[in-house]
Amino acid sequence: MVHLQDILHAKEKIRNTIHLTPILTSTQLSKVCGNQLFLKLEHLQKTGSFKIRGATNKVKHAVQQGAKHITAASSGNHGQAVAYIAQQLGVDATIIVPEDVSTCKRNAIQAYNGNIVTCGTTSAERIPKAIEIAAQLDGVFIPPYDDPQIIAGQGTIGLEILEQVSDVDAVIIPVGGGGLCAGILTAIKETKPSIQVIGVEPALANDTYLSLQKGQITSISGTATIADGLRTSQPGDLTFPILQKYLDDLVLVSETEIKQALHFVLERMKQVIEPSSATTIAAAMFHKIPFKGKKVAAIASGGNVDLTKLSQLLS
């Protein structure tokens, strides 16, 4: 289990690495949503997503314990975050990416001096490889969400929202493997349980929605949602019980709704966010949230989107 105390420790540990990201409001957006919306801008975070919070908490701990090498199995935001923090701390990082990794993601990892090893096309192929390389090199494998220190690092966003949005009534969080949601839930519910916390998944990647309905971890087969940060096939063993215990509701958004929210944020609010981030705004814009007239914080979780693919995402 992860508790508020772990998140307070994480806050201290990552303080000098991360940005305190701003909150943005828009009268237009609030009007469309029927609630007063506060966007937490984690796309302006170091490395372009919140993933640096958990990665920093975990990698700093590993290096203090003597780790000489860090590995991760993600071509996306987690891989970039791990490569960045390893470089900052002066340890080598190897990031295992799929054979079909995009040039944009490969470049981002290489810009942080991460070594790249390609392996298969699924995370089921990449994770054992990352664990194997870590074992060979006296290193530590850094998982993307199902780890107490990763969860605690992501939870620091919850502490910031409590400080930045006074009297916040509700928080909306995108759910992939559930590390972000589990961390923020713990921070919020162990501080002020009356705040409503709502998770969001794309209808095309509804593994946590189904798991909550059935009361047990349930997996789905491959998904093609444009929200590529939320394409996990099942919630984590550690994250799921936290979501089960604390989450007030979990709602689903369609691909069209994600695109329309992305369009709104780009055009009206001038913020470059990625589709995974747009899910929380879509949930608010399309009235999936079961209340009106409240102060609602929505997490804009990241902004790493291939600009050459943006027009395709919006069409």
Ligand X SMILES: *Cc1c(COP(=O)(O)O)cnc(C)c1O
Between residues 139 and 178, which has the closer beta carbon with respect to ligand X? 178
Query: Taking the complex as a whole, how short is the minimal distance between the CB of residue 258 and ligand X, in angstroms?
Result: 12
Round to whole Å and give the CA distance between 184 and 171: 9
CA dihedral of 150, 242, 160, 176, whole degrees rounded to 10: 60
Residue (39 or 230) nearer to ligand X, CB? 230
- Two tokens at 139? 């290193």
Query: Cβ of residue 135: shortest distance to ligand X, in angstroms?
Result: 24
Among 35, 156, 223, 277, binds ligand X (CB under 6 A): 277
Query: Residue 139 or residue 229: which is nearer to ligand X going by CB?
Result: 229
Among 108, 240, 301, 313, binds ligand X (CB under 6 A): 301
Residue 141: burial class (beta carbons within 10 Å; 0-12, 13-18, 19+)? buried
Within 114-173, which residues bind ligand X (CB under 6 A)? 145
Beta-strand relationship, 36-41 and 23-24: antiparallel
Roughly what angle, to the nearest 10 degrees, separates helices 51-64 and 77-89? 40
Shortest approach of ligand X to residue 77 CB, angstroms? 4
CB of 137 vs ligand X, minimal distance in Å: 25
In the complex, what is the shortest distance from the CB of residue 27 to ligand X, in angstroms, rounded to a whole number? 26
Q: How far is the CB of 183 from ligand X (least distance, A)?
A: 8
Q: Which is nearer to ligand X, 85 or 230 (CB)?
A: 230
Binding mask 1-40 for ligand X (x = CB under 6 A): ----------------------------------------
* 69 or 173: CB nearest ligand X: 173
Closest CB to ligand X: residue number? 302
Among 148, 178, 201, 250, binds ligand X (CB under 6 A): 178
**What is the C-alpha separation between 256 and 217, in angstroms, rounded?**
27
Tokens of 115: 């070594």
Could you identify the residue written with the tokens 């992305």?
Answer: 262
Spatial distance between the Cα atoms of 165 and 48, rounded to a whole number of angstroms: 22
Count of residues of this chain found to bind ligand X when the rule CB under 6 A is applied: 19
Buried b (16+ CB within 10 A) or exposed e, 16-35: ebbeebebbebeebbebbbb
Among 75, 218, 274, 286, binds ligand X (CB under 6 A): 274
Site residues for ligand X, 199-238, by CB under 6 A, read: 229-230
- Helix, strand, coil shares, percent, the chain, to 5: 50, 15, 35
Q: Which helix (H) or strand (E) holds 297?
A: strand 295-300
User: Which of 11, 40, 46, 51 is close enough to bind ligand X by CB under 6 A?
Assistant: 51
Amino acid letter, 171: V
- Token pair listed for 282: 């879509």
Return residues touching ligand X (CB under 6 A).
49, 51, 77, 145, 174-181, 229-230, 274, 276-277, 301-302
